[in-house]
Amino acid sequence: MNSFISPFFADLMLWLMYLMLAAALVTTGFSVWHGMRTRRKGDDIINGVPAGKIGWCVAILLVVCLVVTFLLGSSSPVVTNGVQFTDVFWLKATDMFIYTSILLIIGCFVSAIVSRFRS
Residue 95 has pLDDT above 90, yes or no: yes
Q: Please report the pLDDT score of residue 42 as a whole number.
A: 62
Encode pLDDT of 13-69 as tens digits.
Answer: 889 999 999 999 999 889 988 877 777 666 677 777 777 788 778 888 988 999 999
Residue 94 DSSP SS3: helix
At CA 40, angle to CA 36 and CA 45, rounded to 5? Answer: 105
Length of the chain: 119
Q: Please report the pLDDT score of residue 41 as a whole number.
A: 63
- C-beta separation of 86 from 77 below 8 A: yes
